[in-house]
Amino acid sequence: MSVTLWPVAPTLEAIRPFVADCLVGARAWSDILAVATRLPEGTVCYNLECRLAEGQQRVDLLAVVRRGEGARVYAGRAPRRTPRPELFRDERWRRIRRLFTSWVDGALERLSPNIWLEFDLDGGGIRVPVPQLGICIDPCMYEPDAHRPPVTSEAFRGPTEAAIELLRGKPLTRAMRERVRTCIAEAEQPPEGRAIFLGITNSRSPNVLRLWSRLKVETVPAYLERIGWKGPGERVCFVLDRLCRPRKGLVKLEVELQGEELSPRFGVCTEFCPEGDYREAWRLLSGLVNLGQCTPEKREALQAWPGTARAALAPGAWPVRIHRMVDFKFVVWPDGTLETKAYLMVVPLFSLL
């Protein structure tokens, strides 16, 4: 399936008038655009990850690369869209380029429809940012009829584990490999369960492995028990019952592997955007305000965010229609602290009208 690639900085500049300062302030915009101007034209959509609590102003940037032309851009195989050489002065970026090369040339291309890049922006004036990566391990994510090998097969394990080892710069230990395999296999057990992303915090040392699964809300506690997760269970129940239960559907669950052990950290993402009906989301936001997890000002800004608008991303270019959507993420830290985030989703699509 052919996809159109969009220039990063012009796309984000086009949606800037729709983003309230309380969600993305001037300094955060400066950090975001400093990264965006260094990225090649190889991505299809973006998220701005905003913290919702009082006084939390940090915003991170996520960009999605689709297989095909996007992968070739980051592998250096698309001459008119060559990445800036300065990116590859860092060995971690060189490993990322090798990953994209293997995505173009190897078995991973058949398995993974996209890879997302997440740039942690803390106001540190990063010149050459090194992203976290998430490798989609579900070829059916965009094409429901696509075939995925059984998760216990070498056709599945080989490409995914090789990709993570390439990014780590060293092999997984036997214990790490078994942990990852268990988490993936157990995610497939509940009805409608699916392991969807395997990632690595490539920008941090030591790096951390992350697995995202799509699960029914009511199956999450049993899944965590089966994989041996030992975090603050009462806080997980609070998040699922008070914050995710109204959704009555699927959530994206995030678990971490630090070394050879599962981290007590836990993340869960809602999924409101496919239907475009945000009544459940706005009820959730009101509840977050009552819990002190979101300010009233940020609630109003988020409610004003969804919509579409046309924009020309270059002089004389045909305008595109940029869709704006929102989802939420809740992170429970090992000490039980709850962190609430919103994703301002930015999806440019070709449009005649």
Per-residue pLDDT reduced to its tens digit, 101-126: 999 998 898 899 999 999 998 765 55
Helix (H, G, I), strand (E, B) or coil at 133: strand
Q: How far apart are CA 249 and CA 8, in angstroms?
A: 32
Return the structure tokens found at 253.
């669950």
pLDDT in tens, 333-342: 999 899 999 9
Residue 205 pLDDT grade (very low, low, confident, very high; cuts 50, 70, 90): low
Reading the block at residue 215, the tokens are 């699960």
Among residues 248, 328, 325, the alpha carbon closest in space to that of 287 is found at 328
CA distance 99 to 71: 9
**Rounded distance between C-alpha atoms, residue 330 and residue 212, angstroms:** 13
Specify the pLDDT at position 274: 53
Quote the DSSP letter at residue 116: E
CB 116 within 8 A of CB 62: yes
* Residues contacting residue 181 through CB under 8 Å, at least 6 positions apart: 151, 152, 157
The rounded Cα 2 to chain-centroid distance in angstroms is: 22
Q: What is the pLDDT of residue 252?
A: 94
Strands annotated E in the chain: 45-51, 59-66, 114-119, 132-136, 194-200, 209-216, 250-258, 261-269, 307-311, 320-332, 338-350
pLDDT tens digits along 258-286:
999 999 999 999 876 555 678 888 999 99
How confident is the model over 19-35, as pLDDT tens digits? 999 999 999 999 999 99
Q: Which of 121-135, 182-196, 216-230 has the lowest mean pLDDT?
A: 121-135
| pLDDT score for 110 | 87
Mean pLDDT, the chain, rounded, equals 89
SS3 for 253? strand
What pLDDT does 125 receive? Answer: 56
- Predicted structure pTM score: 0.93
Task: Give the pLDDT of residue 112.
Answer: 93
Total residue count of the chain as it appears in this document: 353
Section 204-219 average pLDDT: 87
pLDDT tens for each residue of 35-82: 999 898 899 999 999 999 999 999 999 999 999 999 999 998 987 787
Q: Hey, which residues does 194 pair with through a beta bridge?
A: 214
**What percent of the chain clears pLDDT 70, i.e. is strictly above it?**
94
Residue type, 237: C
Q: Which residue intervals of 151-278 are DSSP H helices? A: 154-168, 174-187, 220-226, 233-238
**pLDDT value, residue 127:** 64
Burial class (CB in 10 A: 0-12, 13-18, 19+), 54: exposed
Segment among 147-151, 189-193, 299-303, 322-326 with least mean pLDDT? 189-193
Cα gap 202→71, rounded to integer Å = 18
pLDDT computed for residue 351 by the predictor: 80
Q: Evaluate if residue 317 carries a pLDDT over 90.
A: no
Q: Between these two residues, 127 and 249, which has the higher pLDDT value?
A: 249
Distance of CA 164 to the CA centre of its chain: 16
Cα distances from 173 to residues 161, 169, 177, 182, 210, in angstroms, run 11, 13, 6, 14, 16
Say if residue 85's pLDDT is above 70.
yes
Question: In this predicted structure, what is the pLDDT of residue 3?
Answer: 67
